[in-house]
């Protein structure tokens, strides 16, 4: 298929196609979400969820197909042979660009369960989106700050218990939960400001992943450690649509989760917290070395 010239015209056409695809899939999804909200029977809601997930997966697949048809981007997916749709996974990844989300969806869609993002509890009330997230069984996470816990010690542990209750349905439904461990997108300026001891990464934030493991650790069957690299240079969503992102590598390494990771109290147990941070630090050093190899030694920008 002939490609439009790289630049604004191609970008505009691709964005419009993605918007049209999103609208086309959102209408039936939101209609079913309203039905799911209106009928409180758990068995009925599970049945609706089994219909909603394929709609979301179809949206991702259509986005992937139109990007492939309209772009010259070289997509490389590695390590997918070890994945199973019937597994329960924690997915962690480095974070360079908004393109990361599309890359993760393209690599993992229909190879693992539909990706779930932990969403802050207050965002459940966002119009339209909050209903869609709820209908797709995204786990809403309630977190209390250190200051809140100091003022109200009785709240300790309630956020974890509430999140565990929200995730109870995942015991019967294969689930993949994604966490961007750096907490924000990488830039050289952020790396320099933070003093992170890595070439291509920011320091990992252990608290978020510890919270996920504390909530879901007993049902998870593995860790998917994802490394995303842009050998020809990273770019944003518009750069991808305009054809300026030339090469994307998504490398997936499946690992077992040591039992001790899910058995401690990260907030209260200093020894466990130090061991957890050491485990994550070792994993992050290995990821930084892997990125060095994938990028040919070029420093992150």
User: Per-residue pLDDT averaged across 199-225, rounded?
Assistant: 87
The CA distance from 65 to 79, in Å, is 21
pLDDT digits (tens, 9 = 90+) for 48-103: 988 999 999 999 999 999 999 999 999 999 999 989 998 899 999 999 999 999 99
Domain 76-294 in CATH 3.30.460: no
What are the residues whose beta carbons fall under 8 Å from the beta carbon of 219, sequence distance 6 or more?
88, 170, 171, 175
Q: What is the pLDDT of residue 148?
A: 72
Q: What is the pLDDT of residue 160?
A: 67
pLDDT at 133 over 80: yes
Contact assessment for residue 139 and residue 163, using Cβ atoms and an 8 Å cutoff: yes
> 301: how many CB neighbours lie within 10 A of its CB?
12
Whole-model pTM? 0.88
Q: What is the pLDDT of residue 244?
A: 95
Burial of 297 (0-12, 13-18, 19+ CB in 10 A): exposed
Q: What is the pLDDT of residue 274?
A: 95
Which among 284, 264, 262 is positioned nearest to 274, based on CA atoms? 264
261 secondary structure, DSSP code:
G
Most confident stretch, 101-110, 112-121, 140-149:
101-110
The CA distance from 290 to 249, in Å, is 12
User: Per-residue pLDDT averaged across 245-250, rounded?
Assistant: 96
pLDDT digits (tens, 9 = 90+) for 184-210: 899 989 999 988 899 999 999 888 788
Q: What is the pLDDT of residue 149?
A: 67
Buried b (16+ CB within 10 A) or exposed e, 117-151: ebbebeeeeeeeebbbbebbbbbbbeebeeeebee
Most confident stretch, 73-82, 121-130, 257-266:
73-82
Q: What is the pLDDT of residue 112?
A: 95
Q: What is the pLDDT of residue 275?
A: 95
Task: Enumerate the H helices of the chain as residue ranges.
Answer: 8-38, 42-70, 99-108, 129-135, 146-151, 158-166, 188-194, 206-216, 237-242, 270-294
Give the domain ranges of the chain.
76-294
pLDDT at 1 over 80: no
* % of the chain surpassing 90 pLDDT: 56
Q: How many residues does the chain have?
A: 301
pLDDT at 301 over 70: no
* % of the chain surpassing 70 pLDDT: 92
Considering only residues 227 and 177, tell me which one the structure prediction assigns the higher pLDDT.
Answer: 227
What's the whole-number average pLDDT of the chain?
Answer: 88
pLDDT at 284 over 90: yes
Q: What is the pLDDT of residue 207?
A: 82
Q: What is the pLDDT of residue 296?
A: 84
Q: What is the pLDDT of residue 162?
A: 66
């Amino acid at each position: 298929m002939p490609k439009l010239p790289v630049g604004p015209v191609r970008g505009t056409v691709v964005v419009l196609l993605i918007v049209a695809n999103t609208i086309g899939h959102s209408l039936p999804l939101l209609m079913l979400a309203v039905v799911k909200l209106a009928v409180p029977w758990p068995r009925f809601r599970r049945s609706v969820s089994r219909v909603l997930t394929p709609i979301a997966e179809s949206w991702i697949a259509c986005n992937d197909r139109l990007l492939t048809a309209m772009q010259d981007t070289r997509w490389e997916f590695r390590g997918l042979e070890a994945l199973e749709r019937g597994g329960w996974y924690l997915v962690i990844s480095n974070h360079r660009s908004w393109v990361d989300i599309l890359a993760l969806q393209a690599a993992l869609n229909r190879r693992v369960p539909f990706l779930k993002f932990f969403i802050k509890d207050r965002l459940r009330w966002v119009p339209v989106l909050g209903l869609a997230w709820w209908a797709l069984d995204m786990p809403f996470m309630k977190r209390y700050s250190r200051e809140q816990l100091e003022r109200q010690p009785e709240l300790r542990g309630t956020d974890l218990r509430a999140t565990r209750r929200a995730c109870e349905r995942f015991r019967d439904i294969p689930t993949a939960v994604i966490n961007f461990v750096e907490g924000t997108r990488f830039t050289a300026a952020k790396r320099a400001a933070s003093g992170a001891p890595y070439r291509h990464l920011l320091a990992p934030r252990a608290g978020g992943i510890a919270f996920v493991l504390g909530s879901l650790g007993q049902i998870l069957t593995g860790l998917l450690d994802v490394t995303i690299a842009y050998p020809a240079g990273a770019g944003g969503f518009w750069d991808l649509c305009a054809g300026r992102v030339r090469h994307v590598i998504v490398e997936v390494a499946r690992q077992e989760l040591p039992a001790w990771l899910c058995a401690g109290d990260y907030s209260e147990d200093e020894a466990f917290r130090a061991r957890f941070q050491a485990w994550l630090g070792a994993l992050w050093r290995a990821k930084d070395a892997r990125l060095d190899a994938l990028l040919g030694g070029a420093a992150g920008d």
